[in-house]
Structure 1
Amino acid sequence: MTSKLAIVNQKKERFLSAPYFAVVGASTNPAKNGYKALKWLVEQHKDVTPVNLKASEIQGLKCVKALSELPDPTHTSVSIVVHPEATLDIMQQAKNLGIFALWLQPGAEDDAVVQFIQADAQLDQRCIYSTHALHDSPLLVHALATGPGTDTNGQCLFAEPTAVATAPPPAAPAVASNVAAGIKRDMLSPPSTPPVTKSAKLADDSVHTMDLGEEIPGLA
């Protein structure tokens, strides 16, 4: 049986193999994730188109207002960086256009969006999205940590597990013989409580409340 991690990696490889890319929710604000996702693709020398209702140009790239304006939708991978209220309409357009692959940044989907994706097996095979099961698995989350949405400072739009912190191993109790070098020594008692080891923890449980850039409601 194919593992969930392997499935995510296959989807990631498909997404990155496209000849063309687009970012829905691309922002003119460098602090927004829509700007960072676009910037990452530009830095990877991808042929990318920003999708934004208001701006005519972002990062020197001409914008389009809808997925239907893309020159070759069936060979375009799309990163979605909008609020979930707009995502369902975008997903319906993407399905109708036969978009090559889709990557929903965390917080871009809600239950209705996930249900829409999972109701179509072929669409599901082309989509990367963050479900509760995904966030519960550090390995799956880590598999997404180097894709679109990773800015130059290594900040990823997908949650990453923090490094596991462990306490240093306790020093071996000093057990001396009753007589050493002619000096009588007392025996030391072993520590009364075991050392504490910290457990691994996901970095941020509030990933779904991240600032997702400019919302693009009602794309037509």
Structure 2
Amino acid sequence: MTALGQFFSSSRQFIVVGASSNPDKFGYKVLNWYLTRSLPVIPINPTSKSILGVNTCASITDALNLENLNENQAIDGFSVSFITAPNVTLNIIQELIEKGYNSDGKLKAFWFQPGSYNSEIIRKSKEDLKVDTIIGNDCILVNGDFGISEAKL
């Protein structure tokens, strides 16, 4: 199975970092992509309380600390889409490292949308956070459906 298929799982919780309430921005389009496919998603936006009818979290750490995310099913971990500028993405990755996130292995996959990452972000995600699946230089709006199909969702 490719990284695209590994990003998805029937028991995965998805997070969109950089979700936007502006329909012209990719953060809105990516969040909407998840919602139209009925995938459980948490939008991350520090200034909006909800986007597209879904309550937001101010930070990824707030989302990772939520309890009872899917009351009807257990989750096997988190797959995270980043739609943020590289400096913001790096700050988030650094915060996760400093606060000891992923010692439990629950951060399963990162999908860095084009323009959201650099080589240092990829290296820190793999080496310091030990995230198994890293997707970069690909867009979920273009190839996400292939990943869903490959994961047999």
Residue by residue over 1:128-183, the C-alpha shift from the partner in whole angstroms, topping out at 9 and shown as x without a partner, is 112xxxxxxxxxx69993217xxxxxxxxxxxxxxxxxxxxxxxxxxxxxxxxxxx
Larger Rg: 1
Tell me whether 63-72 or 42-51 shows the greater mean CA deviation: 63-72
**Structure 2 residue 66 is the aligned partner of structure 1 residue 64:** no
Which of 96, 101, 107 is 1:97 aligned to? Answer: 101
Cα contact 1:23–1:48 (8 A) shared by 2: yes
Alignment TM-score, normalising by the size of structure 2: 0.72
Displacement, 1:74?
Answer: 6.5
SS at 1:82 equivalent? coil
Q: Which has the higher helix share?
A: 2
Equivalent-residue separation in structure 1 for 2:51 and 2:140 (angstroms): 29
SS at 2:144 equivalent? coil
**Structure 2 residue 90 is the aligned partner of structure 1 residue 88:** yes
Equivalent-residue separation in structure 2 for 1:142 and 1:81 (angstroms): 10
Cα contact 2:101–2:129 (8 A) shared by 1: no
User: Residue type of the partner of 1:78?
Assistant: V
Which of 33, 46, 69 is 2:39 aligned to? Answer: 46
Cα contact 1:102–1:126 (8 A) shared by 2: yes
Task: Report the equivalent of 2:5.
Answer: 13
Task: Report the equivalent of 1:30.
Answer: 23
Which of 139, 143, 149 is 1:146 aligned to? Answer: 143
Q: Which runs of 5+ in 2 are unaligned?
A: 70-74, 146-153
Equivalent-residue separation in structure 2 for 1:89 and 1:49 (angstroms): 19
Displacement, 1:84?
Answer: 0.3
Displacement, 1:93?
Answer: 4.0
Displacement, 1:88?
Answer: 1.1
Cα contact 2:85–2:116 (8 A) shared by 1: yes
Residue by residue over 1:1-30, the C-alpha shift from the partner in whole angstroms, topping out at 9 and shown as x without a partner, is xxxxxxxx5321121115211100000001
> How many equivalent residue pairs?
129
User: Residue type of the partner of 1:13?
Assistant: G
Q: Which has the higher strand share?
A: 2
Q: Following superposition of structure 1 onto structure 2, how do residues 178-217 of structure 1 map, counting pairs within 5 Å?
A: none
Kindly indicate whether structure 1 or structure 2 has the higher relative contact order, using CA contacts under 8 Å at least 6 residues apart: 2
Cα contact 2:114–2:136 (8 A) shared by 1: yes
Change (3 A) 1:129 1:90: same
Q: Which runs of 5+ in 1 are unaligned?
A: 1-8, 131-140, 149-220
User: Residue type of the partner of 1:112?
Assistant: E
Cα contact 1:21–1:49 (8 A) shared by 2: yes
Alignment TM-score, normalising by the size of structure 1: 0.52
Displacement, 1:79?
Answer: 0.4
